[in-house]
Chains A and B, each alone.
Chain A
């Protein structure tokens, strides 16, 4: 507490906290501005390639850590493809822009976080009750009025859930401010700086301040959200995406959809490009001068280099399954018991998100290097189970949040009807509740899986010799300046994420 007071007394710390807060709020706004319209576009309008693109635009979350940043630099950095193309086109002497400062942080945040809004909104739209909109139309409401008065309010819980996730993620976000912030310092970079300087007490004070801010944000969000908590009944099937009768609208939807998807997948394309560039061969040219498959050959050349792939896959799968089951159980209890216990559980579940990643990892490491079952501490450090556990706990806010969103929107009359027809609680859960909340769960599970597959922050602290994940291998390759090999790993990781994501997350449309 004394440390917290010492931190609070410093104007530069308060300024950093202020910057953290406004960056997080702006990230929420920008992510919503990108994610919500995209969700509408891909659920409401039919155009060629819609289904495939609808899945693909969620892939920015599957851009691997570290090497994703490199892809961004090669694409949008001052020596990147885009900058050099503009420079060549306009005949400029120097780079037209630099990827640095708050603008760069926001660009990266919006890019990597709009997916929360996109997925949650899409899941909600796919479960939408068309009868209300139809009623509004019958009563003479225009399309805009229906959107504002009926559709958007019904999306409330989904939007609130996504906003909280984005806010918390931005607040704890470290890579983007560290790599792109320049002299623009936020709380996470302050913490790192104190820690690297060996001033652990000060770093603890700063961490406490950040956690307090995160919990404060969560509290505000819950207050706002509480007014909206009401179940929405579903009658009939959700509206199918439609082909507009007007040709211009159809063309606009198709062109817009394709253009946005291409833009959003450009960093992935850059990564793919990089994976075929031999080490050190692409320097000042606008486009790589040589291509080769040597990087992939290096990757499959030894079992040692393939093992991280297997490790990442099983650990992420186990963690996701666990987080899904636990998140659902906790959400169920929290919804059934609206009183104190419910809200306490909700807070507990969100806690892993409020603590910065590295602090969380070191806390786990300290906790689980002691065997004391009575205090629920088990010896996990040094076993293969510590990383899956870390991924699991870290994913709880996502899976639990998704389950909560789904359960809150569930019409209780369905369960009541089933109950009065003599169905057991287990049967009701299996036949009524689960199918109804499946899209929300799938969205949460796919995000949890991607986060675990791509995690770097927890892994670097907790990985062991036998649980070396891909992200550590990527770091290793980058350290040796094997950007191409790192990119090849990145491509593998992104591909694995994409496949898992398509299997898990995209059955929402048919799961009615």
Chain B
């Protein structure tokens, strides 16, 4: 046994030793997933042979937790991907370092952090998703309110809202509107309670959500455009609609980690990610919508032009939502979730 272990160990160590090369590593913590990250890694390394892009795939909450526990000895150089609100929390904790890329001016002021601590890169668009093998496009819900229709009772799946930036944004929009129009969140919570009564299941993660939608354990859900288009390309019979009353847009950001061990190389990578080449690549190959507002329409592929033309951005007080959402979600979790509208 010990000989076996030893030889395994030697094998493993020599494997990892083989990877120690002269290149400067840039360690990226990211929830973006293999398809985007591998594309960026290989494209960037081709143009910059002196850099070794190393991405570690994890949920955005895990990124924050890791940065916090590694504070004394940072391991990551770049944090790439999560709603800007999460970046704002990390910035307040002193986990991010300032860096102003050349494209900073093309990012709207609402999509970046104070003191150049983070910048929006992509826009995530929440949409109404349905299984087109079970529901025709004409029947599919065309607005958030349509989800309350009796025909969707028990056929609506929702990703666990506590864990999901997409759902938190949609819920935040509902509550902020209620507050703006009636002076209280009561109407918003009543709406969420009705939504809860329609919901068959709160699904733990996106992978399971897709699996269940694909297998028709549910017919409709709220999710975002990029994933839905990627699924469709992989053959899933998924359709989507933009909500007619407005889509709350989520800024997905990038930042330099405070105390990054390879800060110089990391700045080069961040600069490139927001650059024209990377933005076009991401839009064409993995369905990302650029956050930059200065791109000419012809720089975007047809699907993105169509989507942007069809989508009507919802007017939401982003600052208010950012301030209140934690308390709202805690209330939702305690008093609405699973109560089936008996509020």
Measured CB to CB, the residues of A under 8 A from B are 12, 70, 73, 77-79, 100, 178-179, 182-183, 192-199, 279-284, 307, 310-311, 313-315, 317-318, 321, 358, 362, 365-366, 369-370, 379, 381-382, 384, 460-461, 463-466, 468, 472, 475-476, 478-481, 483, 503
Contact = CB atoms under 8 A, between A and B. Distances in A.
B33 interface: yes
Given A79-B217, A313-B12, A362-B68, 15 more contacts: A283-B215, A284-B216, A366-B72, A369-B71, A369-B72, A381-B75, A384-B13, A384-B16, A460-B58, A463-B56, A464-B56, A475-B57, A478-B207, A479-B34, A481-B231
Interface in B216-258: 216-217, 230-231, 234-236
A480 B34 contact: yes
Nearest to B37: A476
21 contacts: A78-B217, A79-B215, A79-B217, A193-B162, A196-B61, A279-B235, A280-B234, A280-B236, A282-B215, A313-B8, A314-B12, A365-B66, A369-B70, A370-B73, A464-B56, A465-B54, A468-B56, A476-B57, A478-B205, A481-B236, A483-B211
Interface residues of B, number: 63
Contacts of A179: 204, 208
A481 B207 contact: yes
A198 B89 contact: yes
Nearest to A280: B235
Contacts of A315: 12
A381 B73 contact: yes
B212 A183 contact: no
A321 B8 CA distance: 13
Residues of B contacting A: mostly: helix
A247 B210 CA distance: 52
B329 A464 contact: no
A182 B201 contact: yes
Nearest to B334: A12
B195 to A, nearest CB: 14
Nearest to B71: A369
B70 A461 contact: no
A28 to B, nearest CB: 25
A196 to B, nearest CB: 5
A460 to B, nearest CB: 6
Nearest to B235: A280
B162 A318 contact: no
B8 A461 contact: no
A479 B326 contact: no
B176 to A, nearest CB: 17
A362 B69 contact: yes
Contact of B57 (A12, A193, A472): A472
Nearest to B330: A197
Interface string B189-210: 0000000000001101111101
Interface of B: 1-2, 4-5, 8-9, 11-13, 15-16, 19, 25, 27, 33-35, 54, 56-59, 61-62, 65-66, 68-73, 75, 89, 133, 162-163, 201-202, 204-208, 210-212, 214-217, 230-231, 234-236, 326, 329-330, 333-334, 337-338
Contacts, number: 145
B33 A196 contact: no
A13 to B, nearest CB: 10
B231 A178 contact: no
A136 to B, nearest CB: 40
A233 to B, nearest CB: 30
B330 A199 contact: yes
Contacts of A313: 8, 12
B16 A460 contact: no
A148 to B, nearest CB: 40
Nearest to B214: A283
B142 to A, nearest CB: 25
Indicate the member of A478, A479, A503 with the most B CB atoms within 10 Å.
Answer: A479
Nearest to A279: B234
A283 to B, nearest CB: 5
A7 to B, nearest CB: 13
Contact of A460 (B19, B62, B333): B62
A369 B33 CA distance: 27
Nearest to B237: A283
A369 B69 contact: yes
A73 B211 contact: yes
Nearest to A95: B217
A318 B9 contact: yes
A384 B33 CA distance: 23
A479 B206 contact: yes
Interface centre among A198, A279, A315 (most CB of B within 10 A): A198
A455 to B, nearest CB: 15
Nearest to B11: A310
Contacts of A465: 25, 27, 54, 56
A70 B211 contact: yes
B61 A195 contact: yes
Given A100-B201, A314-B8, A480 B35 contact: yes
Contacts of B205: 478
Contacts of B59: 460
A369 B57 CA distance: 20
Closest 7 CB pairs of A and B: A183-B338, A365-B69, A314-B12, A369-B73, A478-B207, A79-B215, A465-B54
Contacts of A362: 65, 68-69
Contact of A464 (B75, B163, B236, B333): B75
A335 to B, nearest CB: 25
A362 B330 CA distance: 23
A476 B34 contact: yes
B20 to A, nearest CB: 9
A463 B57 CA distance: 10
Given A178-B204, A370-B73, A283 B11 contact: no
B19 A481 contact: no
Nearest to B70: A369
Contacts of B202: 182-183
A438 to B, nearest CB: 13
Contacts of A369: 69-73, 75
Contacts of B75: 369, 381-382, 464
Contact of B207 (A358, A472, A479): A479
Nearest to B61: A196
A69 to B, nearest CB: 8
A197 B69 contact: no
A315 B89 CA distance: 35
Contacts of B4: 317
A480 B326 contact: no
A132 to B, nearest CB: 34
Contact of B12 (A311, A370, A503): A311
Contacts of B35: 480
B21 to A, nearest CB: 13
A478 B203 CA distance: 14
Contacts of B201: 100, 182
Nearest to B5: A317
A283 B8 contact: no
Contacts of A480: 33-35
B222 to A, nearest CB: 17
Contacts of A381: 70, 73, 75
